[in-house]
Structure 1
């Protein structure tokens, strides 16, 4: 039976877990029913966790983390204090359709330490030179944090444009007095893309990148 009252700390933890679970399930294209089947936990129990009604006990937290192929700290942020890095899913390209981190889209995992508390949600392999002037070259690995819009004007984002099946990495800009969103390449050889807000879907914001041959981190945003 669920406890009738939680402490303020526990209530904060429940809200944190709820938000993280919703984000992870969305990214991976996993439904609550799918998660229930994988963990063998009742759908009502999964629903309570996702909707922030009850606190996940440690045993169930581990089951859910294992089923989603994430760390416990990805679900319950209080575990991050003793952790310096996590396994970051590497995707070959951004697709429309199913969850961004659905199993069929994940090429592998990168174990790379971020020195602060911010951890990327996924890594993207760069295939073209459209952001070369920003220091992001073909073959680089770009770290992304999942977001549905940019944190600020001019931020580098991963985005899907119109009905394109594959996404792109561009700097997003907007201005007062214009209804258009500009997706700016970091290379003068490529054209600026102008679209209406409902024609672009942001799937992540840039956090940093490195070159695989050296494993040297190039930048953080």
Structure 2
């Protein structure tokens, strides 16, 4: 949601031939704040959307998901309130790209966007990870999916899907198995990939456990991703 809003902000800004700094000056914001809005890294409130609408000469509904082009007619108050109610009931959780060794997992450079979630959920207990590759395809987790991860440092049961840092390398998503002798085996849900065998848990850092998957709808012809 926030990524789509950000893309529309950027498009409208460029149509006005404004730099990020120029738009920020109109709104009393820094260029960095505008950059974060455009990349979907920061949740934008309805008040700032209304100010953007005025500064960029676009109807406020133009910036909300599901509205492709600004409409000439003014939306009804009930329609706008409905969109605002839905918008205000959402917050965002961090979407992480590849997490490399030597970086804190939740450092800013690892965050590639935000995933909207209802405010009722304890969002601080979750993060999302963008899937790279097809090693978990057998579990219904495909490349490009966003996997919802519950932050915790332990495994609840044998056979659980975990997000883990292995041997100080990049984060991986695998099925956790622990043998009676203490050896750990991380198994892909795709037979094309070999198991990862660990003789000691000291080489493994559990960053969270699988809590769900978000799949993007198929792109429409001519749609830019």
Other-structure match for 2:214: 210
Q: Which of 195, 204, 217 is the aligned partner of 1:192?
A: 195
Cα distance in 1 between the residues matched to 2:153 and 2:212: 18
Other-structure match for 1:128: 133
Q: Which of 90, 94, 107 is the aligned partner of 1:89?
A: 94
1:175 has 2:179 as partner:
yes
Other-structure match for 2:155: 150
Q: What SS class does the counterpart of residue 141 from structure 2 fall into?
A: coil
Q: What SS class does the counterpart of residue 202 from structure 2 fall into?
A: helix
Other-structure match for 1:32: none
Other-structure match for 1:65: none
Deviation beyond 3 Å, 4+ runs, structure 1: 116-120
Q: Which of 85, 104, 109 is the aligned partner of 1:99?
A: 104
Q: Which is higher, the Rg of structure 1 or of structure 2?
A: 2
Cα distance in 2 between the residues matched to 1:172 and 1:84: 35
Cα distance in 2 between the residues matched to 1:185 and 1:95: 20
Q: What SS class does the counterpart of residue 207 from structure 1 fall into?
A: strand
CA shift in 2, pair 1:105/1:117, >3 Å: closer
Shift of residue 197, structure 1, vs aligned partner: 1.1
Specify every segment of 5 or more residues in structure 2 that has no aligned partner in the other structure, as ranges: 1-41, 44-87, 219-225
The number of aligned residues is: 132
In the superposition, the TM-score normalised over structure 2's length comes to: 0.53
Shift of residue 84, structure 1, vs aligned partner: 6.2
CA shift in 2, pair 1:163/1:102, >3 Å: closer
In the superposition, the TM-score normalised over structure 1's length comes to: 0.54
Q: What SS class does the counterpart of residue 104 from structure 1 fall into?
A: helix
Cα distance in 2 between the residues matched to 1:111 and 1:96: 28
Specify every segment of 5 or more residues in structure 1 that has no aligned partner in the other structure, as ranges: 1-68, 71-82, 215-221
RMSD between superposed Cα atoms in Å:
2.4
Cα distance in 1 between the residues matched to 2:206 and 2:161: 10
